Amino acid sequence: MTNSIYSKGCAWINGEFMPVSEAAIPIADTGFTHSDLTYDVVSVWNGKFFRLEDHLNRFERGWKRLRMNPPLTRSAMQDIVFDCVAKSGLRESYVELIVTRGIPLDGERDIRKFANCFYAFAIPYVWIAKPEHQLNGINLVVANGAQRIPTTSIDPTVKNFQWGDLVQGLFEAYDRDAFTAVLLDADGNVTEGPGFNIFAYHEGRLITPPDGVLQGITRATVIDLADEIGIPCSIEPLSAAQLRTADEILLTSTAGGVMPVTVIDGQTIGDGDPGKVTMLLREMYWEAHERVQWTSQINYEQPALESIA
């Protein structure tokens, strides 16, 4: 069913598949005007979704927390993303699902009455840092300017587009000749950065922050893989000072996997090469994309959608 008009990506908008270049959301959708939405991003690697069930669980928790009722069942949404990928023919893909509050009709202001909308698309796989960049390692700063928005204002466990603080952090990184930034919370603890969670490896154990962060699926995978090879991992507050003195630092994201940091705040970490533990976990992470229990094969020939009215 692969069709070349979808080779740059396939989207689902308002009940129709279309090439991603033609896909547009209605301008009045409050997902756009108020960022009132949640979304998820799942990868496809070698023709298989990676941990799709975990991504859908997080997505569902998110829309429920925002008190939304998507117009389709979870299983219909799942069929749609299978078909977006199948139509595109992409073997490595970045697949996004979005539920928005929707469009206010006739001046309606009561957000409980809006018809929530569902959108999805599959595009070629996106890397926060390209593989060749990862081999050199990432130059990271701890942002001094932007602080991560308090969790009482925006719940970071509901994946969201409210990136004002993260974008400020990115510009600070560019101004300081770095590649990206990690943000602190009001207590000076490390949270996360634009599109990634973070781990420090120090004195034989991994540490990753417990809250103020998205519960990343790649983060969960690293915790699982570390456990398999007997590396203890503590989910506990991580100060900026602890991060700066770590033996290794790694970033995790669906868009890039396990990514080594080799410079923090202008200081080289260790001998300046990506850390050994980081690189072992990175290798295991990519190998895990063939594990049956974590993958869902895409059928590029047969549509999944027959069941949707």
Q: Contact positions toward ligand PLP, by CB under 6 A?
A: 41, 192, 195-197, 214, 216-219, 252-254
Nearer to ligand PLP, 55 or 87 (CB): 55
Nearest distance in Å: CB 124, ligand PLP: 16
Nearer to ligand PLP, 102 or 209 (CB): 209
Nearer to ligand PLP, 217 or 233 (CB): 217
Nearest distance in Å: CB 214, ligand PLP: 4
- Residue 40, token pair as written in the block: 């998820």
Nearer to ligand PLP, 36 or 103 (CB): 36
Nearer to ligand PLP, 12 or 39 (CB): 39
Helix, strand, coil % in the chain, rounded to nearest 5: 30, 30, 40
The DSSP H or E segment spanning 184 is strand 180-184
Nearer to ligand PLP, 68 or 214 (CB): 214
Nearest distance in Å: CB 259, ligand PLP: 11
Nearest distance in Å: CB 252, ligand PLP: 5
Torsion of CA 24, 25, 28, 32, to 10 degrees: -110
CB atoms within 10 A of CB 12: 23
How far apart (Å, rounded) are the C-alpha atoms in residues 9 and 111? 32
Nearest distance in Å: CB 184, ligand PLP: 14
DSSP string, 78-116: HHHHHHHHHHHT-SSEEEEEEEEEEE--TT---GGGSEE
How far apart (Å, rounded) are the C-alpha atoms in residues 177 and 136? 15
Nearest distance in Å: CB 79, ligand PLP: 22
Provide CB contacts within 8 A for 70, sequence distance 6+. Answer: 63, 77, 99, 116, 118
Nearest distance in Å: CB 295, ligand PLP: 16
CB atoms within 10 A of CB 21: 11
Nearer to ligand PLP, 201 or 285 (CB): 285
Select from 115, 215, 108 the least CA-distant residue to 155.
215
